Amino acid sequence: MKHIAFFFVTLALMTSCTRTNPFFTEWNTPYGIPPFEQITDADYVPAIQAGIDEQLAEIEAIVASDAEPTFENVIGALDRSGALLSKVSRVLFNLSESINTPRIQRVVEEVTPIVTAHENDIFMNAGLFAKVKTLYDKKAELGLTTEQERVLDEIYRDFEKNGIGLDQAGQARMREINTELATLSLRFGNNLLAENNAFKAAFGVAISEYTTAMTTCEDRARREAMFRAYASRGNNGNEYDNKQIVLDILRLKIEKANLLGYDTPAAFILSDKMAKTPKAVDAFLANIMKYAVRQAKAEVFDMQKVMDADVASGLLPAGSKIEPWDWFYYAERVRKAKYDLDENAVMPYFKMENVREGVFSTASRLYGLQFEPIADAPKYHPDVEAFRVSDADGSLIGVLLTDYFPRDTKRGGAWMDNIRDQFITPEGENVRPIIVNVGNFNKPTADKPSLLSLDNVETMFHEFGHALHGLLSQCTYHTVSGTAVARDFVELPSQINENWAFEPEVLAAYARHYETGEVIPDELLAKVIAAGNFNQGFMTAELCAASILDMKWHELTSVEGIDIEAFEKKACREMGLIDEIIPRYRTTYFNHIFNSGYSAGYYSYLWAEVLDKDAFELFRQKGVFDKETAMSFRHNILEKGDSEDPMTLYVRFRGAQPDPDALLRARGLK
């Protein structure tokens, strides 16, 4: 790695003779959007190091101060420290997900251990912790606001979770573990990106297009080949194989949990989440799985009848049975038969730009927001578009960047991230956030715009729900701002936003044929709505199976002697998953839990769906665009970040605890 560091530092020095590193200047751009076009790969390493040096000096000043510790001069100062480091990191790590070129990969590989070591230095700083603990031990006497007390609790827990209570040897080992985990997670993600690109090279189908391809492909042998390649990513015995990386990650997570006094990684991770314990999560998932599998078996029965007809007509050999590679294809044929709904006939009404306008107009009706394109905004890629988001009175809410099309350097899936947090300065300035929504939707062609599937439409609404959580934040401190909430609460704003995607009056406003401008016909609209709960057995079972698999891995006390494929097969059998379905993510390409912070947390989507469906039932009762209900959700959930206990926030909005059966009712499973 040293030769890489030498290369970048040398290049940075050469460059500095003729230009100033953009990270060392104030950005004279619209709303402070990073000047992406001015930033070079050589700028990151020196800027990261300068940011680390700056934050260390800030922390040393906190520790060295002779003043009596107060919330402001310890916790407030720590929360505000590291502005330059955050400025650089937000840009670099966002781009590493969306523009992950070989050179960006090398930069990230170099800075990851440096940044990890720096984080260790902060949370193993005994002098700093002594001041934090002084305040924590007498917090009841400090007259703190609810948000300040929450920030103090979070920072105190961060020290505990990073091993401040360990002896010198334990802290040294914790440093090693954290660095190794960061490096291994990075390798896992890079390997998966390479495997995704290999899949595309083999089949001419991007990973983001897999479901559509499996739905429309009539060639059963090709479907099987695509399925096997898709399901074996990271498990091909090549240079991108993730099996040993998975075991190494889990071994380190177990050791880390043990060092901190927990039996398993799951117990450690869940200790400060809404669910609290692995036992609670396991029971929650087992109940859902029971209903999902029952429905999925009925769906197999319906599909098998269609397949039997193909056998009778000579299209398939005798004895053919539904296999995992048949599901999407035959489910679509059942849907056509049951609801006379052909997704190919629907997609022309879902032009990407029109759907985005539907997303925006829904937020406008609910929360009073307005969206205006920023014509001269800097961009990190030509596909990016920028929007000024303002409140009903015209005041700035924040900036939204959208990046919706696939490319070889972008990881699969869809996500929200922020380039700048919302926070309030000591002088009272409310710094507004810069939010990114990223997807992998169909790219426009020479003769056709980007047309979205029903699933894509739902995904855009979902990720924009996360964006609203970040944009509408009204917190004082970085620590609790925006989406910095418990993992099993963070999906509430995203998932509740999906509920408006296919509301009739919402669809009528944005679902227009890309050629004729015709609004989606009532007859077709009725079919879309009628088919809303179609295939929910499969969709729930594959999601629940992945959640259970995640828990199984993180409830281990050892990985010695474990064969990944055998472990996964046993887990699927024990959870009752039928042979025709595999988990949404198999182990070697489960990026959420091995590279994206959802370890022992993938259940969060279902956990939060209980909240979202229960909350949307209130909108149903009051009216889906009822202003009072919408503004209550905005003020009590979307603006609050982690400034209060999440269940306290939820009950304040809903007036009661969530009904655990709300999810099952909404999915038509009970």
Catalytic residue positions, numbered: 463
Chain center to CA of 328: 25
Q: Which of 440, 244, 434, 212 is nearest to 328 (CA)?
A: 212
Measured distance CA(331)–CA(315) in Å, rounded: 17
Contacts of 68 (CB under 8 A, 6+ apart): none
Asked if 572 and 584 count as a contact pair (C-beta separation under 8 A), the reply is no
Measured distance CA(245)–CA(587) in Å, rounded: 11
What's the token pair of residue 525?
């609209």
Q: What interhelical angle do 126-137 and 146-161 show, nearest 10?
A: 140
Measured distance CA(598)–CA(613) in Å, rounded: 22
Measured distance CA(553)–CA(548) in Å, rounded: 9
Block residue for tokens 């715009």: 449
DSSP lists the bridge partners of residue 351 as 451
Measured distance CA(441)–CA(404) in Å, rounded: 6
| Long-range CB pairs of 510-514, under 8 A, 24+ apart, other chains included | 510/354, 510/355, 510/357, 510/358, 510/361, 511/349, 511/350, 511/354, 511/358, 512/349, 512/351, 512/354, 513/348, 513/349, 514/348, 514/349, 514/351, 514/354, 514/448, 514/449, 514/451
Measured distance CA(595)–CA(658) in Å, rounded: 31
Task: Look at residue 249 and give its three-state secondary structure.
Answer: helix
Q: Which of 4, 25, 27 is nearest to 16 (CA)?
A: 25
Asked if 343 and 453 count as a contact pair (C-beta separation under 8 A), the reply is yes
Q: Which residues of 274-294 are buried (b: 16+ CB within 10 A; e: fewer)?
A: bbeebeebbebbeebbebbbe
Rounded (5°) CA angle 165-597-95: 120
Provide the phi-psi class of 517: left if phi over 0, else alpha when psi is between -120 and 50, else beta.
left
3-state secondary structure 361-396: HHHHHHHCCEEEECCCCCCCCCCCEEEEEECCCCCE
Torsion of CA 450, 453, 455, 459, to 10 degrees: 20
Measured distance CA(375)–CA(395) in Å, rounded: 19
